[in-house]
Amino acid sequence: MSDKVVGGKCSACGAVSYPRRAVCPKCRNETFERIPIEGEGTVLTYTDVYALAIDYETRYLRLAIVELDSGQRATGQLLADDPKLGMRIQTTIGVVRKPGEKPITGLQFVPI
Amino acid sequence: MKPIYVAGAGMTKFGRADWSLIRLASEASRAALHHASLGEIPVDGVVVANMGAARVNKQTALGSALVDQLALYPAMAEAVENGPASGASAFKVGCQAIASGMADVVLVTGVERMRVVNGLEGTDFVASLSHPEVEYIYGVTLPSLAGMFARLVMDRFGVERRHLAMVAIKNHLNATKNPYAHIQQAVTMEGILTAPEAIVNNPPIAEPLHMFDCCPVSDGAAAVVLVSEEIMTKLGAPPIRVAGIGQATDTHAVHEREDPTDLKAVRLASERAFAMAGLRPADVNVAELHDAFTILEIAESEAAGFFGHGEGHLALERGETALDGRLPINPSGGLKAKGHPVGATGVAQLVELTWQLRGEAEGRQVKDAEVAYACNFGGFGNNVVATVLRREAR
């Protein structure tokens, strides 16, 4: 799953933690299976950031929180020209940040 | 638990400082100590609140450095780092020392000197509080989290950009009456929203938030002197009781919160503070909220219990939170206009409220204020400290 973004599915109650954590917030179990955070979903909210973080040279960055059909939520970059709340998206993996030589990959959301 | 009192309060003018980090802390501390008029009574402990000195100023162990500057040895000393809630956290640590009987006099000083680095580096330093693996790597910054929060709140509750502008206009106006404020300049609806040139004056930062929805980057320091009841009775000043403190945490990543428009940690911290004080939100006469972004003042005013969920912008529009309203919010100008030296902010809120309760807030005095509330919002709402102060009869 090295090319995927992963969460932790609690091996006792099945609740998914993303980010992964040491203890399940629902049942306090401490063992998890890795599951990919991927699929289709909807845009819960988004923003266009003009005061950019370090490492970015674009004019602005479009970030979103999405609700996936699997029930998980995730933060990532929204690759949509005409974003709207509730719009349908699917996840892809792409380069999300380039601090120096080594690019970092992560979740991007593209309209369906 | 033994009673705790604020016996003195002082701060530096917020803005761009020429002074070193420790000079800033020292000036605010001296002002607070003079205000407390302790005479020969020794200071037992020093707690410094700061978020970024290790990174931004390349200095650590600030408690020891401040003790040395003020020649307060052999007082106990340490620094507290809790992101943007460092100030109220340090205040809480100071209160615990008094409440436990371990100390009778504690100096709590918040300080930040963050304008020594450029804007990009400053933004990155604050963004380092976001979740490193599921937020930070995407280019998440504090304004971007606030922008996403604002869009959701605006969509659900009918909050408009003009409401956000009303927060800025109110707080800028209050700051014109505060000589310690970073920006002492009034702004108008035309200038920041409705006139054709408003987009030039007020460019987007993280849509729907624009520049005048965001606090400035400030240097500054603020300090209070906490004392036990035994010491308070020896001093002549009006006794300002630390009536209640509440603290609560929430998920690190914002996207994991069940209802991302519910500032749960603000709600829980406030409930705990009011329960400890034996008071209700309706008893509060003046409040300082953590308006790092205009939307937060509205949302916190609801989560703290002053207004119903989704009704804060309506109370604002009716003028209830103005300096002459039913519940003045951010008479100091708030983070929006007074400024936000991150580690100093939580202490500065309590400095303003102490002055308000002592009747020393001059042109921005809330008449006969007896009960005051502060919300210091850490992370993006994942660690919140609420404080209730009350003036007691002598």
**CATH number for A90:** 2.40.50
**A93 falls within a domain:** yes
Which residues, including other chains, have CB under 8 Å from residue B82's CB and lie 6 or more apart? B49, B51, B89, B90, B378, B383, B385
Residue of B nearest to A25 (CA): B251
Q: Is the dihedral of CA B232, B233, B239, B244 positive or negative?
A: positive
What residues pair up with A92 in beta bridges, in sequence order?
A108
- Looking at the structure, tell me whether residues A15 and A47 fall in a common domain: no
Q: Yes or no: say if B256 and A75 are a contact pair by the CB < 8 Å rule.
A: no
Distances in Å between the alpha carbon of A68 and those of A40, A74, A91, A94, B378?
6, 8, 9, 18, 28
Q: Taking the mean position of all CA atoms in its chain, how far away is CA A91?
A: 8
Residue of A nearest to B126 (CA): A53
Q: Is A76 on the interface with B (CB under 8 A)?
A: yes
Provide the pLDDT confidence category of residue A100 given band limits of 50, 70 and 90. Answer: confident
The answer to whether A106 contacts B147, with C-beta atoms less than 8 Å apart, is: no
Distance from CA of B147 to the nearest CA of A (A): 6
Chain A residues close to B258, C-beta within 8 Å: none
Q: How many CB pairs under 8 A join A and B?
A: 110
Residue of A nearest to B152 (CA): A45
Residue type, position B167, single letter: V
Number of alpha helices (DSSP H) and beta strands (DSSP E) in chain B: 14, 11
Give the pLDDT of residue B394: 80
Distance from CA of B256 to the nearest CA of A (A): 6
Cα diameter, chain B: 61
Domain extents for chain B?
4-118+217-232
Which of the residues in chain B have pLDDT under 70? none
Q: Yes or no: say if B340 and B3 are a contact pair by the CB < 8 Å rule.
A: no
Distance from CA of B18 to the nearest CA of A (A): 26
The answer to whether B134 contacts A56, with C-beta atoms less than 8 Å apart, is: no
Domain count, chain A: 2
Topology annotation, domain B4-118+217-232: Peroxisomal Thiolase; Chain A, domain 1 (3.40.47)
Per residue in A4-24, pLDDT (tens digit) is 999 999 999 999 999 999 999
Question: Which token pair is B285?
Answer: 């006469």
Q: Which of A47, A85, A96 sits opposite B155 (nearest CB)?
A: A85
Residues of chain B that touch chain A, judged by Cβ-Cβ distance less than 8 Å: 119-121, 123-124, 127, 131, 133-135, 137-141, 143-144, 147-152, 155, 203-209, 251-256, 260
51-70 in chain A: CB under 8 A from chain B: 51-56, 61, 63-65
Residue of A nearest to B131 (CA): A19
Per residue in A21-39, pLDDT (tens digit) is 999 999 999 999 999 999 9
- Looking at the structure, tell me whether residues A66 and A50 fall in a common domain: yes
Whose structure tokens read 């008029």?
Answer: B37
Give the pLDDT of residue A1: 53
B326-329 contacts, C-beta under 8 A, 24 or more apart: B327/B284, B327/B285, B327/B286, B327/B287, B328/B285, B328/B286, B328/B287, B328/B366, B329/B170, B329/B287, B329/B288, B329/B289, B329/B297, B329/B301
- Looking at the structure, tell me whether residues A30 and A50 fall in a common domain: no
Give the three-state DSSP class for A80.
coil
- Looking at the structure, tell me whether residues A17 and A61 fall in a common domain: no
- Looking at the structure, tell me whether residues A59 and A96 fall in a common domain: yes
Question: Which token pair is B337?
Answer: 């206009």
78-107 in chain A: CB under 8 A from chain B: 85, 96-97, 104, 106-107
Helix (H) or strand (E) holding B115: none
Chain A residues close to B140, C-beta within 8 Å: 53, 63, 75
Question: Which token pair is B239?
Answer: 């006794």
Q: Are strands B45-49 and B76-80 parallel, antiparallel or unpaired?
A: parallel
The answer to whether A47 contacts B148, with C-beta atoms less than 8 Å apart, is: yes
Q: Is the dihedral of CA B326, B329, B332, B338 positive or negative?
A: negative
- Looking at the structure, tell me whether residues A26 and A72 fall in a common domain: no
Provide the pLDDT confidence category of residue A2 given band limits of 50, 70 and 90. Answer: low
Question: Which token pair is B231?
Answer: 């010491």
Give the pLDDT of residue A3: 81
Which residues, including other chains, have CB under 8 Å from residue A1's CB and lie 6 or more apart? A34, A36
Return d(Cα B266, Cα B88) in angstroms, integer.
13
Q: Which domain holds residue A79?
A: 40-111
Give the pLDDT of residue B267: 98
ipTM of the complex: 0.97
Q: Which of A47, A65, A77 sits opposite B207 (nearest CB)?
A: A47
- Looking at the structure, tell me whether residues A102 and A77 fall in a common domain: yes
The answer to whether B144 contacts A49, with C-beta atoms less than 8 Å apart, is: yes
Helix (H) or strand (E) holding B140: none
- Looking at the structure, tell me whether residues A44 and A93 fall in a common domain: yes
Distances in Å between the alpha carbon of B181 and those of A110, B84, B171, B184?
44, 18, 10, 6
Per residue in A26-85, pLDDT (tens digit) is 999 999 999 999 999 999 999 999 999 899 989 999 999 999 999 999 999 999 999 999
